[in-house]
Amino acid sequence: MNRKLERFDVLYAPVYDEGRGAISESHAAYVDRMLREVSRRLQSLGYVGVFDAVLCVDALENLPPEDWPAALTALRGAAKPAAPVYLTVELPEGIDLDLAYDTARAKGWPVVPGELAEDDGYHYYPSRDTVLGWLDDAGLEIVEQSDGDGYWHLLLAA
């Protein structure tokens, strides 16, 4: 490994952001502008029937509910016919979603049940029935499933 890179990773990376966490208005404005210019990423993958397998782990929970159907359809579309699709759905272990909903609504935030919106982050925990409906709509069929490590693991076929 490059010694400079190793030095940065070992010495500086763990503490680099301490005291440097603020993002200036000009940086934020340009990042926002850039993001408006690019596609919506996971929800609009540009690949059609390209991959022998598709893997989406620890990502979908960052999408709001209205984007899940498009993301699942895009993941399915990226796979070759009969290619396996593996994805995880994070489970709300130890989280009081009712309290999270009530708290966010009290702040005036436009959340729906299952959304965990906090000042410093966001997750969405859809019900299994909701996910099953979206999978069906996207043309994905469950081959195997299990719970483990805080996730619902789904091996799917298109």
> Tokens 């059609």, residue?
48
Chain segment 105-123, per-residue pLDDT in tens = 998 989 999 999 887 788 9
Query: Is the pLDDT higher at 7 or at 157?
Result: 157
Fold classification of 47-157 is: Rossmann fold (3.40.50)
Q: What per-residue confidence (pLDDT) applies to 26?
A: 78
pLDDT band at 53 (very low <50, low <70, confident <90, very high): very high
Chain segment 38-51, per-residue pLDDT in tens = 556 866 667 778 88
Instruction: In whole angstroms, give the CA distance from residue 22 to residue 9.
Output: 21
pTM of the model: 0.72
Phi, psi of 127 (to 5 degrees): -70, 160
